[in-house]
Amino acid sequence: MAKFSEAAQRYAEQLRSAQDKRSEAHRVIKTINGLVYTESQKELSTEDKVELAGLIRKFLVEGEGIKKAADNSEYLELIDLILNGVGGNE
């Protein structure tokens, strides 16, 4: 879980600082879909990918202390894009 948290923070920062956030979200999706478990070398389960996306959301939306709904709408759209991309909204 700690590694998920660290990865989620890193992805959230990438999204936050990207000029083209949508393209960066697609890069994050590709990265998440390519992750494997260290021990088994099998790809992450959909549940773990969704958990990781949830942590990214937490760091993007809650981590910045965003006050207004308008401030986080772009991030919420990116999280929806990521969830769809990792199989969380099927």
Return d(Cα 47, Cα 59) in angstroms, integer.
19
Average pLDDT over residues 2-13: 89
Q: What phi, psi does 50 have (nearest 5°)?
A: -65, -40
The mean per-residue pLDDT over the stretch 49-78 comes to 75
Mean per-residue pLDDT of the chain: 84
Tens digit of each residue's pLDDT (9 = 90 or more) over 29-47: 999 999 999 899 999 999 9
Amino acid identity for residue 32 in this structure: I
Q: What is the pTM of this model?
A: 0.79
Whole-angstrom distance, CA of residue 37 vs CA of residue 25: 22
Cβ within 8 Å of residue 27, ≥6 positions away: 14
Cβ contacts of residue 62 below 8 Å, gap of 6+?
Answer: none
